[in-house]
Amino acid sequence: MKKYREALTAVLAIALIYIVFYIVGVGCPIKFLTGISCAGCGMTRAYLSLLRLDVAAAFHYHPLFPLPPLVLLLVLFRKRVPDKIYKLLLFTITGVFLIIYLLRLFDATDTVVVFEPTRGFIYRIFEFLGRILKNVL
């Protein structure tokens, strides 16, 4: 019972962090910092679309949105799944996420997953510091 409580607490904590990010206008912290979408980019919008019963939009935002709840169930019921199957499923799901991420990242028509490092906070900080150093020197 303690394991389930810890898992639920972790899920709620992550959800709370993302709600705070959303309220302050950050959205995805990885994209905010780097300007590059993460592998889960579009997942929140997919679930929000699903709540509106817009399944097509949900798949548009992230085609793998059904997988995280399945992974959560897999982790919660870890002891009931044979070790080899557990590892195979996690490896396969991770691989599928990586393949879909790379396909979306290199698809110029994809408006959800973007590669814009010059829009990231880290780049802007370095650019700002570079301008200061240029003026000082």
Assign 28 to helix, strand or coil: coil
Give residue 121's Cα distance to chain centre. 18
- Residue spans per domain, the chain: 2-111
* pTM of the full structure: 0.73
Residue 127 is predicted with a pLDDT of 93
Residue pair 50/127 in contact by the 8 Å Cβ criterion: no
| Nearest of 130, 129, 126 to residue 117 by alpha carbon | 126
pLDDT digits (tens, 9 = 90+) for 84-127: 999 999 999 999 999 999 999 999 888 889 899 999 999 999 99
pLDDT category of residue 78 using cuts at 50, 70 and 90 = confident
Residue pair 113/31 in contact by the 8 Å Cβ criterion: no
Q: Give yes or no for residue 132 having a pLDDT over 80.
A: yes
Looking at per-residue confidence, does 88 or 7 come out higher?
88
Place of tokens 């992230």: 62
| Nearest of 128, 94, 121, 129 to residue 29 by alpha carbon | 121
Q: Give yes or no for residue 20 having a pLDDT over 90.
A: no
